[in-house]
Structure 1
């Protein structure tokens, strides 16, 4: 069986630690990072729209894509080192929520971290992409806090 950890800047360490704690040693581990296309697309659009298309060799999206790939490679390498067991490293490009759901097809477990408001539990503790993945994942999901969980007393009172 395969356990997937969604590796995202700011929360990846908690996901890797959860895999170390909860994934059986004989399961395969896939460390998944998804690079969104927004920055490169915006740079490409601005260059084409404002500066013209006469010099495609100066397209600012090309170095941005290269920098994003390098950053993803370093992030995955750091996650693999922290995991301290064999893992498959996968970097995809696309809409993160869609790519994670697609990659989770047939997985035994998907590990991801809360990425919204970390001061209290509830729906706002999940960002939009994470909410989509939790709602649409085709496998069991382990949702972890990227730091200490908030005090249970911070939960809102029950309805009247």
Structure 2
């Protein structure tokens, strides 16, 4: 069994704890972190537009790429330590939602934590990337709350129904 755990800032411990609890002992566990490509790209573009080309050594986009890689390495190392068993670590860069879906190809299970409004039950508890991943994952998805789930009294009311016309 191959289990992918999507590692993101703030919610990764819940994914790791879930994998530790639910993945069989002989499962191949992969910790996946995706760095969005748009932030360094925007910095590269802004630098080139403001100061022109030819000063690559001062390009802040390159610094952001290095900082993002170091941050991802550190996050993956912390996640692997918390998992406490053998695992692979994958770092990708690109459109986060598409990279996670692509990484899940061939997996048996994808573990991810809710990343939206976690104060209420309902669809807003998933951010846009998570919603895309849940809708497009090519494997079983295990969706977890990073903290205890809110009570059922937080379910939004049903939409009003128009009156019946005869």
Cα separation, 1, equivalents of 2:31 and 2:156: 35
1:51 shift after superposition: 1.1
Larger Rg: 2
Q: Which runs of 4+ in 1 moved over 4 A?
A: none
Q: Deviations over 1:4-37 (max 9, x none)?
A: 0000001000000000111101110000000011
Does 2:44 correspond to 1:44? Answer: yes
* CA drift at 1:68: 0.4
Counterpart residue number, 1:18? 18
| Correspondence for 1:98 | 98
Cα shift at 1:154: 1.1
Matched, 1:79 2:79: yes
Match of 1:89 in 2: 89
Aligned residue number for residue 164 of structure 2: none
1:152 maps onto 2:116 in alignment = no
Kindly tell me the number of residue pairs found equivalent between the two proteins. 160
**RMSD of aligned residue pairs (Cα, Å):** 1.0
Using the TM superposition, name which of 125-134 and 48-57 deviates more: 48-57
Aligned to 1:54: 54
Whole-angstrom CA distance in 2 between matches of 1:45 and 1:88:
34
With 141-150 and 53-62 compared, the bigger mean Cα shift is at: 53-62
Q: Partners of 1:128 and 1:69 in 2: how far apart?
A: 23
Q: Distance in 1 between matches of 2:54 and 2:16?
A: 46
Equivalent position of 2:119 in the other structure: 119
Q: Give the TM-score normalised by structure 2.
A: 0.93
**How far is 1:158 from its partner?**
4.3
TM-score of the aligned structures, taking structure 1 as reference length? 0.97
